[in-house]
Chain A
Amino acid sequence: MRYRRPGLDIASHALLILALIAFCLPVWLAITAATHDQASLYTGTAPLWFGSEGLDNFRAVLTEPVGRLGTDVTRLLLNSTVMALGIALGKIAIAILAAYAIVFFRFPLRRLCFWLIFITLMLPVEVRIMPTYRVAADLGLLNSYVGLILPLIASATATFLFRQFYLTVPPELLEAARVDGAGPWRFLRDILLPLSTTNIAALFVIMFLYGWNQYLWPLLITTESDHMTIVVSLKRLLSSADNLVPWQTVMATALLAMLPPVAVIVLMQRYFVKGLVDAEK
């Protein structure tokens, strides 16, 4: 039942479109700024329309060392990609196995393992950042991909979600598989994993965004630019200028930093929404 009230409908659309414009404005301004050169940017307020230097600006940040970073953005994008994929795939892989053990096996100390893993949900990396940094330093993981990835895999979000999903799998499927002669590894490969594909996709989206958007940890663990991520580099770009901020470079880099996660979320929106809503359950 909807009362047909054209007036209200139009007002709703109008408000929504207004909100959309407001939401897009920061990005629009970033795009226009990235297409001007520094001189034309600093003639007044930021331009609302495109300039002519877009291709040059992007080519420059992608191929030449940027500011005092001493490296080009292509390298930063590569680092971010390695980190985000490493975190997403690593988390999913260990979570699938750990949740499988907890849900489908009975063994001594199971309850303890459960709590050891799920208590990590309580404390984000930001809270224990100093000592974690020390551990990584002691293990010689500073300025390495392993150092970027491994400590961030240590939370149990994905394990928790897989556990929740596994609990919804009808127990008869496991029984049928056992009667059909499937052992634990075969059941995992032939039955459970094929049933988990949408959950895996959803988690991949969420974990990829989580990994790509990390800030504090990569800021600490990468002191050299050859392992720096693109998100962290922005602050350096902002502060590296002698006096005037090179906004066209910063904005081109910021846009490149947004592009992969936004592309992932738009292309995989269906899984993303499912993943989020499942996470609540």
Chain B
Amino acid sequence: MATLRLSALRKTYPNGFTALHGADLEIADGELIVVVGPSGCGKSTLLRMLAGLESISDGELVIDDRRVNELEPAQRDVAMVFQNYALYPHMSVADNMGYALKNRRVPKAERRRKVEETARLIGLEDLLDRRPKQLSGGQRQRVAMGRAIVREPRVFLFDEPLSNLDAKLRVQMRLEIRRLQKRLGVTAVYVTHDQVEAMTLADRLVVMNGGRIEQVGTPMHLYERPASRFVAGFIGSPAMNVLDARLEGDSLTLPCGTRLASPVPSPGEAKTVCLGIRPEHLSVVPEGDAIDGDLSVRVELVEPLGADTLVHARLEGQDDPVVARVDGIRAVAEGDSLALRPDAGRLHLFDPETGQRLDPLEPECQHSTFPA
């Protein structure tokens, strides 16, 4: 169990490419941090730097008040679960799990006891003599987990561990990882590109983009107050609608002429902004009942998903269609004209150039709500 501190952590490759531009992060003991972002955003590099598999170009990595920049992976006392599991193909499940202990010269009897204990914990007791080749994907995933758990490391590192499993197993393993991590109380860093996985697992989320950390916070905080257009688009599905608008005083004007009350009053002169509205914060209103501030649209496509329905509609003056998520199956047809009513309390404004949120984040929300 451990706390981690990353200060201005930087990775530049010999060819000059910078994969990570100075990451700052504090991780509390027992916390599960999920790092999420599109491929190439630097999240895997960050994880591998924590593991000691990539050297640290600049900055400092501290585990439990000790600088570990120069330590070999094994000396950092971290365990890692790899995307393809990286099980040793010629070793039995028991030997795979016990290899790290063997390298630490743990006596054989104790090794055996620990491996068996862990196997019981994750339901592998009957498979200890099998080779990885004889196991299903889900079982291999369990062995990879077991190999990490048996060492009782200070930190768990997960590198997209569920991406090779089918959808049903992924959901099941996700719950299990969460349960095990909380039960063992081990600090964990989990990398994924799947935002649903990220939302459901994380105590706190780290959203990365282009080698930088965009925002850190609890899943709900990131959902409710995304710090940038990128985070807004990445968290939540379907993605947030972003409309061009003009902010003048305390009102927003869309190109189609619709006026809305702005959540953030503009102090100075009028300026162009990006207005973000999540699909679930738009409700369908019959055209006749439309009031000021409703968006008049023409329906282009209807996707009934069962529990709810996605309505893709064209709003005059916008390039991309607006998506609304409405309850149940509505009698909406393609070609219909109707009005979409935004939830006034859940509008987001972003600067069109920098992509940053216009209203300042409340400072307390930047930090973990998890007890430190």
Measuring CB to CB, which residues of chain A are less than 8 angstroms from any residue of chain B?
170, 172-173, 175-182, 186, 190-191, 194-195
Bound complex: CA A27 to CA B29 (Å): 77
**Chain A residues with Cβ under 8 A from B88's Cβ?**
173, 176-177, 190-191
Task: Bin the interface of chain B by size.
Answer: 20 to 34
Bound complex: CA A154 to CA B195 (Å): 56
Q: Are A180 and B74 in contact (CB under 8 A)?
A: yes
Q: Are B103 and A176 in contact (CB under 8 A)?
A: no
Bound complex: CA A177 to CA B88 (Å): 9
- B61-94 CB mask vs A (1 if < 8 Å, else 0) is 0000000000011100011101111111110000
**Chain A residues with Cβ under 8 A from B52's Cβ?**
178-179
Q: Are A181 and B53 in contact (CB under 8 A)?
A: no
Q: Are A179 and B90 in contact (CB under 8 A)?
A: no
Q: Distance (Å) between the CB of A108 and the closest chain B CB?
A: 13
Q: Is B324 at the interface (CB under 8 A from chain A)?
A: no
Bound complex: CA A173 to CA B91 (Å): 12
Q: Are B103 and A179 in contact (CB under 8 A)?
A: no
11 other A-B residue contacts (CB within 8 Å) besides A170-B84, A180-B74, A180-B99: A172-B85, A176-B82, A176-B147, A177-B88, A178-B72, A178-B73, A179-B51, A179-B73, A179-B74, A191-B88, A191-B90
Task: From A172, A181, A182, name the one whose CB has the most chain B CB atoms within 10 angstroms.
Answer: A181
**Chain B residues with Cβ under 8 A from A175's Cβ?**
48, 51, 53, 73, 80, 82, 86
**Chain A residues with Cβ under 8 A from B51's Cβ?**
175, 179
Q: Supply 14 A–B pairs (Cβ within 8 Å), ascending by A.
A: A172-B86, A175-B53, A175-B73, A175-B82, A176-B80, A178-B53, A179-B51, A179-B78, A179-B100, A180-B99, A181-B73, A181-B100, A191-B90, A195-B89
**Chain A residues with Cβ under 8 A from B103's Cβ?**
180-182, 186
8 shortest interchain CB distances as A-B pairs:
A181-B74, A172-B86, A180-B100, A181-B103, A176-B86, A194-B90, A179-B73, A178-B73
Q: Distance (Å) between the CB of B157 and the closest chain A CB?
A: 8
Task: From A179, A181, A194, name the one whose CB has the most chain B CB atoms within 10 angstroms.
Answer: A179
Q: Are A190 and B99 in contact (CB under 8 A)?
A: yes
Bound complex: CA A181 to CA B100 (Å): 6
| CB contact under 8 A between A170 and B86, given known A175-B80, A179-B51 | yes
**Chain A residues with Cβ under 8 A from B74's Cβ?**
178-182
Bound complex: CA A176 to CA B86 (Å): 6
Bound complex: CA A179 to CA B80 (Å): 7
**Chain B residues with Cβ under 8 A from A194's Cβ?**
90
Q: Distance (Å) between the CB of A193 and the closest chain B CB?
A: 10
- Of B83, B86, B104, the residue contacting A173 (CB under 8 A) is B86
Q: Are A181 and B104 in contact (CB under 8 A)?
A: yes
Q: Which residue of B lies closest to A175 (CB)?
A: B53
**Chain B residues with Cβ under 8 A from A181's Cβ?**
73-74, 100, 103-104
**Chain A residues with Cβ under 8 A from B99's Cβ?**
177, 180, 182, 190
**Chain B residues with Cβ under 8 A from A173's Cβ?**
86, 88
Bound complex: CA A176 to CA B81 (Å): 8
Bound complex: CA A172 to CA B84 (Å): 8
**Chain A residues with Cβ under 8 A from B83's Cβ?**
172
Bound complex: CA A182 to CA B86 (Å): 14
Interface hits, B10-61 → A, CB 8 Å? 48, 51-53
Q: Distance (Å) between the CB of A107 and the closest chain B CB?
A: 14
Bound complex: CA A198 to CA B53 (Å): 29
**Chain A residues with Cβ under 8 A from B72's Cβ?**
178
**Chain B residues with Cβ under 8 A from A180's Cβ?**
74, 99-100, 103, 147, 151
Q: Are B104 and A179 in contact (CB under 8 A)?
A: no
Q: Distance (Å) between the CB of A16 and the closest chain B CB?
A: 36
Bound complex: CA A176 to CA B88 (Å): 9
Q: Distance (Å) between the CB of A194 and the closest chain B CB?
A: 4
- B99-140 CB mask vs A (1 if < 8 Å, else 0) is 110011000000000000000000000000000000000000
Bound complex: CA A176 to CA B87 (Å): 8
Bound complex: CA A172 to CA B47 (Å): 14
